[in-house]
């Protein structure tokens, strides 16, 4: 672990539990804890009897047990999360921190339990994904860029569920977005990438669809800007804007498959999007494609000079269409 964990300050008890209340919570009581075997715990204290809801909605998580126990007093219950293996402390801490954030101002015990169980369901999907690890800085920038385009798509072009379905970045498709007869490959450039765009395979700029576009956008890390957003912030923004139930469910599923969970590490950097440009990929566009590469050559990656593709610039309506 690269940062201190709250369980380091909690001694292992000889019986039952040792707990330390989480600082800054004003709603239901939440505690860091250890049991008498030294396991790391998160304890959520509830008033009333919530056995029926817990049994109906509880989820099982690999490496984390989820139990409902009686509290110290009559009419009190506790949800107890227990980490099985210390090697997974970093992921468990991330789960606990985001759950605590969700419960910070929740005062009703039934609501607190419902929020907790919904949160655990999302984490189960995340842990079942192919990337149960922290995303790299490049992956964070790429995902942020795709989500920025997804917002543009459901705000101006497609119904919400159709827009989420069109987002194929989590599915390892050749292009990031496919809808109707259009395919769009999104490239999010850092401040260092001034004059070129990197193409990571021979398939990214080839499509059987009649309309293929390359969209570039520059992401600048400007932490002090009121308009800059972190990866967590843009995900929260999209979740608040989606009102279609199918879109909400599919969006959560795609985030889990790409390896995203709401971790504190994704509160920075904070990006400001600028210089968004679309290019129509057509005859004469400089590219390497599988159909033209000699037999025996594979895993092609290359860079294109932005100056060289300036003649192929197109406007938003050409690239996205309209609702």
Q: What is the DSSP string of 158-200?
A: S-HHHHHHHB-GGGT-SSSEEETTEEEEEEEE-TT--SEEEE-
Q: Is the pLDDT of residue 15 over 70?
A: yes
Question: What's the rounded mean pLDDT across residues 66-80?
Answer: 91
Q: Report helix, strand or coil for 11.
A: coil
Q: 302 forms bridges with which residues in the sheet?
A: 199
87: confidence class by pLDDT, cuts 50, 70, 90? low
Q: Chain-wide mean pLDDT for the chain?
A: 89
Tens of pLDDT, residues 108-144: 999 999 889 888 887 876 666 545 567 889 999 999 9
Share of the chain above pLDDT 70, in %: 94
Distance CA 217, CA 197 (A): 10
| Nearest Cα residue to 158 out of 218, 227, 91, 247 | 247
Note whether 46 and 30 are within 8 A (CB).
no
Beta strand pairing status for 177-179 and 196-199? unpaired
Contact present, 50 and 110 (Cβ < 8 Å): yes
CA distance 62 to 15: 26
How far is 144 from 153, CA to CA, in rounded Å?
14
Query: pTM of the full predicted structure?
Result: 0.69
Per the structure block, which two tokens stand in for 154? 């459901």
**155: confidence class by pLDDT, cuts 50, 70, 90:** very high
pLDDT digit string, tens, across residues 204-218: 999 999 999 999 999
What interhelical angle do 245-258 and 109-128 show, nearest 10? 50
C-alpha–C-alpha distance, residues 268 and 40, integer Å: 27
pLDDT beyond 90 at 199: yes
**pLDDT of residue 18 exceeding 60:** yes
Domain borders along the chain are 6-128, 137-320
**Which tokens is 321 given?**
């269409």
Closest by CA to 101, choosing from 277, 272, 312, 261, is: 261
Please identify which residue in the block is written with the tokens 């990031």. 176
Helix %, strand %, coil % for the chain, to 5?
40, 25, 35
Report pLDDT for 283.
94
In what helix (H) or strand (E) does residue 238 lie, and over which residues does it extend?
A: helix 231-241
- Mean pLDDT on 217-222: 91
CA dihedral 123, 124, 129, 131 (to 10 degrees): 40
Confidence of residue 1 (pLDDT cuts 50, 70, 90): very low
Best CA proximity match to 199, nearest among 254, 281, 131, 269: 281
3-class DSSP string for 47-91: ECCCHHHHHHHCCCECCEEEEEEECCCCCEEEEEEEECCHHHHHH
User: 269: cis peptide before it, omega within 30°?
Assistant: yes
């Amino acid at each position: 672990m690269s940062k201190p964990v709250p369980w380091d300050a909690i001694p292992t008890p000889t019986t039952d539990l040792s707990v330390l209340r989480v600082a800054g919570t004003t709603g239901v009581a939440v505690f860091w804890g250890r049991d008498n075997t030294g396991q790391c715990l998160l304890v959520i204290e509830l008033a009333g009897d919530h056995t029926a809801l817990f049994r109906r909605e509880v989820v099982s998580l690999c490496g984390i047990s989820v139990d409902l126990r009686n509290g110290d007093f009559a009419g009190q219950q506790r949800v107890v999360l227990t980490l099985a293996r210390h090697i997974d402390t970093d992921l468990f801490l991330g789960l606990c921190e985001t759950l605590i954030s969700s419960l910070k101002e929740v005062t009703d015990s039934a609501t607190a339990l419902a929020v907790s169980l919904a949160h655990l369901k999302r984490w189960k999907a995340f842990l079942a994904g192919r990337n149960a690890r922290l995303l790299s800085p490049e992956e964070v920038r790429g995902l942020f860029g795709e989500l920025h385009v997804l917002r543009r798509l459901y705000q101006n072009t497609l119904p919400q569920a159709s827009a989420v379905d069109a987002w194929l970045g989590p599915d390892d498709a050749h292009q990031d977005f496919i809808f109707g007869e259009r395919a769009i490959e999104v490239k999010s450039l850092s401040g260092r990438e001034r004059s070129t765009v990197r193409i990571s395979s021979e398939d990214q700029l080839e499509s059987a669809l009649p309309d293929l576009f390359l969209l570039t956008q520059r992401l600048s890390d400007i932490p002090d800007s009121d308009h800059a957003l972190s990866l967590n912030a843009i995900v929260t923004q999209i979740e608040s804007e989606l009102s279609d139930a199918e879109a909400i469910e599919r969006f959560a599923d795609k985030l889990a498959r790409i390896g995203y969970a709401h971790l504190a590490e994704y509160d920075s950097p904070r990006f400001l999007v600028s210089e968004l440009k679309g290019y129509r990929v057509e005859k004469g566009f400089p590219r390497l494609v599988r159909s033209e590469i000699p037999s025996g050559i594979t895993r092609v990656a290359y860079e294109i000079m932005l100056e060289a593709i300036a003649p192929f610039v197109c406007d938003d309506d050409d690239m996205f269409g309209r609702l």
